[in-house]
Amino acid sequence: MVIAAVALGLGWGLWQLYGPRLASPASPDLAIQVDRVDHILIEKSARRLTASRAGQKVLQYDIALGFDPIGDKSREGDGKTPEGLFTVDRRNPNSSYHLSLGITYPQPEDIRRAAEAGIDPGGDIFIHGQPNALGNLLQLPGDWTAGCIAISNAEMEQLWRLVDLGTKVEIRP
């Protein structure tokens, strides 16, 4: 009986140290209850996503960006996360990453600039969770996407429930 209790306690302790982690909830000062957000602010230099409703912060998460995040996206494969004003234009529940919200990049000015330079502006920029291959066990560290904005799977599930098509997305340097 004592051995079983010790084994159970040891197992619980190891689970607490090494088991899967759920995302920490939004800070208490942001814990207002809403059913939708109308604006998502991405601050690249702070590695932060803030979702708000009518100007009031609802959620705030740490983010990962493209593998070369400084500067605005200009071409396919540059590893940069675009900067500017966008909207959510698609929702993909079957993404290769845990859920994804597509944004309206490239914009007409991005397409024009790329055409003048004879390059592909890139596309398929999303806010998404972690790669499905990782399950819910790991979260990749650092900036690792091809230009997207990544958050934890638990955070993505929460954001997914609050975002409709047409939600404004502002990405700042």
Instruction: List pLDDT tens digits, range 131-167.
Output: 999 988 889 999 999 999 999 999 999 999 999 999 9
pLDDT at 3: 44
Give the separation between CA 43 and CA 49, rounded to whole angstroms: 6
Is residue 69 situated within a structural domain?
Answer: yes
Q: In the chain, how many domains are there?
A: 1
Residue 30 belongs to a domain:
yes
From residue 97, alpha-carbon distances to 28, 101, 152 in Å are 28, 10, 10
**Is residue 12 a part of any domain in this protein?**
no
Q: Which of 51, 65, 101, 148 is catalytic?
A: 148
Is residue 116 situated within a structural domain? yes
**In this structure, is residue 98 part of a structural domain?**
yes
Place of tokens 């602010």: 41
Residue 75 lies in a domain: yes
Cα 85 to chain centroid, rounded = 16
Instruction: Give CA–CA dist 66/7, Å, rounded.
Output: 43
Range of the domain at 135: 25-172
Report the distance separating Cα 97 and Cα 116, nearest Å: 33
124 lies in some domain: yes
State the pTM of this model: 0.81
Q: Which residue has the tokens 């920029």?
A: 125
The confidence score (pLDDT) of residue 18 equals 34
The whole-number pLDDT of residue 32 equals: 65
Which pLDDT belongs to residue 28? 43
**CATH code at 71?**
2.40.440.10
15 belongs to a structural domain: no
Set 58, 128, 139, 155: catalytic member: 128
What does pLDDT average to in each consecutive run of 10 residues of the chain (173 residues)?
Answer: 37 34 43 87 98 97 97 95 98 96 97 95 97 90 97 97 98 98
Q: Does 128 participate in catalysis according to the annotation?
A: yes
Predicted pLDDT at 138: 87
Is 148 one of the annotated active-site residues of the chain?
yes
